[in-house]
Chain A
Amino acid sequence: MSQLFQEAIIVSILAATVRIVTPLLFSALGELITQRAGIWNMGVEGTMLTGAFAAYLAATATGSLWLAVLAAVLAGALMGAVIAFMTSLMRVDHFIAGLGLNLLAGGLTLYWFQSYIQGRAQPTFSGFQNVAIPLLSDIPLLGPVLFSQRALTYVALLAVPAVWFLLYRTRYGLELRCLGENPKALDVKGLSVTARQFAAVMLGSAMTGLGGGFLMLGFSDRFLADFTAGRGWIVVVALIAGNWRPRGVLIAVTAFAFLESLATHLQVIGAQVPHQLLLALPYLASIALLMGLRFRTGQPARLGVPYARE
């Protein structure tokens, strides 16, 4: 265990944390936008999976990683449109809509994957490599942890203040938060609640899809069934743990990523802990969190409540 405290290991754990947090961060910020607009989208897992699969298809078919990123974003937006159609327009129960979407995404990606490879050896691609930022990456400790990462990791980190700015400093953000708190306040001013919820959910889900896409392009070279392995659910927990605030969500997903990174490293070092238990750490932590967090002061007042003029 003492190896844990060597500098190289610490740097490695932290660097891996930042890498692992990237897809969670994209997806969580996307879900933050969605939920602040009042839609409790439980389809994060399915949206991430679809984004990951779209990225895989595009990467192996075109060989371009950036086209693959675009594919993930578009796939996410499409899933968002489906969720918005069901929840905002048809007023389906938000949980049921999301769970349905997850089932659909799981089945459809697998089916499409099978018909794509048609029994031949699965095509692979080589994913994103680290892009060291000159000068900054030479800073001891901070350099390798923060400034020697994949390009999209930088984007994800910058997305935190960007989303904060969108929500709290623009008129779109004010209207978006109003959707989650009291959509009628927009309706009585003659503005369409549904149109705005569509826009918010599609934008949010595009980011969620991007998170899934990065999971594929930054960590893997191939697609597997259940590729996202419950990360979408961790994102949902992170929203609650982060009290629906950008900074809170950042802290929550970072904590999850750190646990996952720690678990991987403990395994590599050969710590005398069953590795199944280590791998379960982030999930156990999320259960513990959900039980402990009973005060949800930041939860949008009309989150998950379909809007209708009475």
Chain B
Amino acid sequence: MSTALRVEGLTKRFAGVTANDNVDFDLRPGEIHCLFGENGAGKSTLSSCIFGFYRPDKGQIFVRDKPVHIASPIDAIRHGIGMVHQHFVLVPEFTVLENIIVGTQRSGWRLNAQQARQKLKAICDGYGIDIDLDAYVWELPVGRQQWVEILKALYLDAEILILDEPTAVLTPGESRILFDIIRKMCARGLSIILITHKLVEVMQSDRVTVLRKGKVVATLNTPETSPDELARLMVGREVSFTVTKPDLQPGETVVAVDGLTARGHWGEAVLKDVSFSVARHEILGIAGVAGNGQKELFEVLCGVRKPEAGTIRLKGEDVAGLTPRCLMDRGVGHIPDDRFREGLVPEFSVAENLVLGWQRSPKYCNGPLIDSKAIAELSREMIAEYQIATRDEKVAAGKLSGGNAQKIIIAREFLHASGLMLANQPTRGLDVGVIEYVQAQLLKKRAEGFAIVLASEELSDLFNLADRIAVMFKGEIMGIVDPKTTTISEVGVMMAGRREGVAAPKERTLA
């Protein structure tokens, strides 16, 4: 059978680490082929080699069964390969049109926008993409920004399109539209490589290649496999996706937020009249597309950002506007979303990071001196208890993997906090195994009596863990729903700005 693209024996090493080990892969014309695997399994490396961003150390790439040499993206583009990067490569200050044509014109010194405009109109009409070519990219919602990325590839006549984690920043509704467009592209003969680690997306493909630690584990016809089988292949062992969450009776209210309002750096409203409460034995999930005020909410709750109005009653006492130190003393723990910038000092050792923020506590000090013995002892206990994979407690935290770094933060916060835990994206970017672990820890602390505020961009996480889900959009809470009686698509509609109670499609799928 002829292939649109074939990769044979591709090997790519980075400073001793083999990111791709003798990888074979083939893409049939008109199919959606998923590259599925954990972080660091080599999905992005493989696609970067195909797109000419990296040079493979070994192996051969064939396009339409002809061997090709791809030394730079310019070669890839010439062979009809396009790529939509996970982090969009757009210039917010440029218009849609400028973003698409920049760097594509090979002759003439004046901008020739007219021709480009006509070609793009034809493409947009063909796919039913409705976009204003003269809008600035910064004006567009994220879902539309992705259309711009796709148009960039189509404008360069891509026949093979690589989509790298395309739904990472989309709402469920936007993802559904994206998959409609993808299917239209396939119908027109384009071949799609879809990189993802989400099972729901894999299940919509024609075939799937599972990568683990740089090697191809299997290539399967998607209809003939199951999510369980794929997860097992990806991780290399059985994985339980059904978290067992015991029913617990919520205890007394730990924190009650009322009418919270806050402004951003430029004076824009980032939180508008936010109200909710969380009780003992309860996890309140915060759903929303990134950048809709979740981060600011956590900043206000942990004291980093001053609220403009509203109250935060912590066990009855109004703590709005108190400093982070005061809140820590009152038992508030915080797991920030950017673990290496806000959660840790990467240059400090594991031990130092485990007491970070508590270095004044008499537990760790002898007068003005640090009690390194006590800290080392505690660190060894924590490393054992939280299964932090590190040689010893003196290793710099920045040298550890994201999962182990996250365990340091979780260990520190749960060690020192009592009562309220603020967890912002605690599982983002982690591997399945670590995600399982973090989720189990959160549920354990819930059972112990913590009130937990948990934000996640993965709706399935929230549905698994949360007792109630508050949906945020543009700094406001659209509604607080019970995951037992609500569907993922209902929450998705609220994430796009519709208030609770508005009719929504009933199917329980993501895309």
Q: Is B195 an interface residue (CB 8 A)?
A: no
CB-CB under 8 A from A188, the residues of chain B are 51, 53, 73, 83, 85, 89
Q: Is B135 an interface residue (CB 8 A)?
A: no
B99 A189 Cβ-Cβ under 8 A: no
CB-CB under 8 A from B51, the residues of chain A are 188
Which B residues from 89 to 121 make CB contacts under 8 A with A?
89-94, 98-99, 101-105, 108-112
Query: Which of A57-65, A99-107, A128-136, A178-186 binds B?
Result: A178-186
Residue among B85, B92, B111 making CB contact with A170, cutoff 8 Å: B111
Q: Is A66 an interface residue (CB 8 A)?
A: no
A169 B103 Cβ-Cβ under 8 A: no
Given contacts A190-B73, A190-B75, whether A309 and B53 have CB atoms under 8 Å apart is yes
> Nearest-CB distance from B195 to chain A (Å)?
16
Given contacts A170-B109, A182-B89, whether A187 and B73 have CB atoms under 8 Å apart is yes
Residue among A185, A190, A301 making CB contact with B102, cutoff 8 Å: A185
Q: Is B56 an interface residue (CB 8 A)?
A: no
Q: Is A191 an interface residue (CB 8 A)?
A: yes
Q: Is B351 an interface residue (CB 8 A)?
A: no
A178 B89 Cβ-Cβ under 8 A: no
Secondary structure type dominating chain A contacts: helix
B108 A171 Cβ-Cβ under 8 A: yes
Given contacts A184-B89, A309-B53, whether A174 and B73 have CB atoms under 8 Å apart is no
> Nearest-CB distance from B163 to chain A (Å)?
14
**Please, how many angstroms separate the alpha-carbon atoms of A181 and B98 in the complex?**
12
Q: A131-175, CB under 8 A of B: which get 1 and which 0?
A: 000000000000000000000000000000000000001111011
CB-CB under 8 A from A301, the residues of chain B are 91-93
CB-CB under 8 A from B166, the residues of chain A are none
CB-CB under 8 A from B390, the residues of chain A are none
**Please, how many angstroms separate the alpha-carbon atoms of A172 and B110 in the complex?**
8
A178 B103 Cβ-Cβ under 8 A: yes
Q: Is B248 an interface residue (CB 8 A)?
A: no
Q: Is B77 an interface residue (CB 8 A)?
A: yes
Residue among B74, B77, B91 making CB contact with A181, cutoff 8 Å: B91
B110 A189 Cβ-Cβ under 8 A: no
| Residue of B with least CB distance to A170 | B109
**Total B residues in contact with A, Cβ cutoff 8 Å:** 30
| Residue of A with least CB distance to B105 | A171
A191 B91 Cβ-Cβ under 8 A: no
| Residue of B with least CB distance to A165 | B110
Q: Is B72 an interface residue (CB 8 A)?
A: yes
CB-CB under 8 A from B91, the residues of chain A are 177-178, 181-182, 185, 301
Given contacts A181-B94, A186-B103, whether A174 and B111 have CB atoms under 8 Å apart is yes
Given contacts A169-B111, A171-B108, whether A185 and B53 have CB atoms under 8 Å apart is no
Which B residues from 418 to 440 make CB contacts under 8 A with A?
none
A191 B90 Cβ-Cβ under 8 A: no
CB-CB under 8 A from B156, the residues of chain A are 189
B103 A181 Cβ-Cβ under 8 A: no
CB-CB under 8 A from A178, the residues of chain B are 91, 94, 102-103
| Residue of A with least CB distance to B93 | A181
A189 B109 Cβ-Cβ under 8 A: no
**Please, how many angstroms separate the alpha-carbon atoms of A44 and B283 in the complex?**
57
B85 A174 Cβ-Cβ under 8 A: no
**Please, how many angstroms separate the alpha-carbon atoms of A189 and B72 in the complex?**
9
CB-CB under 8 A from B109, the residues of chain A are 170-172
CB-CB under 8 A from B52, the residues of chain A are 190
| Residue of B with least CB distance to A168 | B111
Given contacts A181-B93, A190-B73, whether A175 and B102 have CB atoms under 8 Å apart is yes
Secondary structure type dominating chain B contacts: loop
**Please, how many angstroms separate the alpha-carbon atoms of A220 and B53 in the complex?**
53
Residue with the greatest number of chain B CB neighbours at <10 A, chosen from A174, A177, A188, A309: A188
B105 A189 Cβ-Cβ under 8 A: no
B93 A189 Cβ-Cβ under 8 A: no
Q: Is B312 an interface residue (CB 8 A)?
A: no
> Nearest-CB distance from A307 to chain B (Å)?
12
Residue with the greatest number of chain B CB neighbours at <10 A, chosen from A181, A186, A189: A189
> Nearest-CB distance from B248 to chain A (Å)?
43
**Please, how many angstroms separate the alpha-carbon atoms of A271 and B262 in the complex?**
53
| Residue of A with least CB distance to B111 | A171
Q: A181-205, CB under 8 A of B: which get 1 and which 0?
A: 1101111111100000000000000
**Please, how many angstroms separate the alpha-carbon atoms of A230 and B75 in the complex?**
48
CB-CB under 8 A from A181, the residues of chain B are 91-94
Which B residues from 151 to 198 make CB contacts under 8 A with A?
156
CB-CB under 8 A from B89, the residues of chain A are 182, 184-185, 188
**Please, how many angstroms separate the alpha-carbon atoms of A190 and B102 in the complex?**
12
CB-CB under 8 A from B72, the residues of chain A are 190
Which B residues from 58 to 103 make CB contacts under 8 A with A?
72-77, 83, 85, 89-94, 98-99, 101-103
**Please, how many angstroms separate the alpha-carbon atoms of A170 and B76 in the complex?**
26
Q: B44-62, CB under 8 A of A: which get 1 and which 0?
A: 0000000111000000000
CB-CB under 8 A from A185, the residues of chain B are 89-91, 99, 102-103
| Residue of A with least CB distance to B153 | A188
Residue among B85, B94, B104 making CB contact with A189, cutoff 8 Å: B104
| Residue of B with least CB distance to A295 | B266
> Nearest-CB distance from B50 to chain A (Å)?
13
**Please, how many angstroms separate the alpha-carbon atoms of A189 and B156 in the complex?**
9
CB-CB under 8 A from A177, the residues of chain B are 91, 93-94
Residue among A169, A174, A189 making CB contact with B74, cutoff 8 Å: A189
**Please, how many angstroms separate the alpha-carbon atoms of A181 and B502 in the complex?**
41
A182 B111 Cβ-Cβ under 8 A: no
CB-CB under 8 A from A187, the residues of chain B are 73
Q: B104-147, CB under 8 A of A: which get 1 and which 0?
A: 11001111100000000000000000000000000000000000
Q: B272-292, CB under 8 A of A: which get 1 and which 0?
A: 000000000000000000000
Residue among B93, B101, B103 making CB contact with A191, cutoff 8 Å: B103
Given contacts A190-B72, A301-B93, whether A174 and B110 have CB atoms under 8 Å apart is no
Q: B298-329, CB under 8 A of A: which get 1 and which 0?
A: 00000000000000000000000000000000
> Nearest-CB distance from A259 to chain B (Å)?
31
B contact set with A: CB distance below 8 Å:
51-53, 72-77, 83, 85, 89-94, 98-99, 101-105, 108-112, 156
By Cβ-Cβ distance, the 5 closest A-B pairs, closest first, are A190-B74, A190-B73, A189-B103, A181-B91, A171-B105
Q: A184-B89, A185-B91 are in contact. List 16 more A-B contacts (CB 8 A).
A: A169-B110, A170-B111, A171-B110, A174-B111, A177-B94, A185-B90, A187-B73, A188-B53, A188-B85, A189-B73, A189-B77, A189-B104, A190-B52, A190-B73, A190-B75, A190-B76
5 A-B interface contacts by CB (under 8 A): A171-B111, A181-B91, A188-B89, A190-B72, A301-B91
A contact set with B: CB distance below 8 Å:
169-172, 174-175, 177-178, 181-182, 184-191, 301, 309
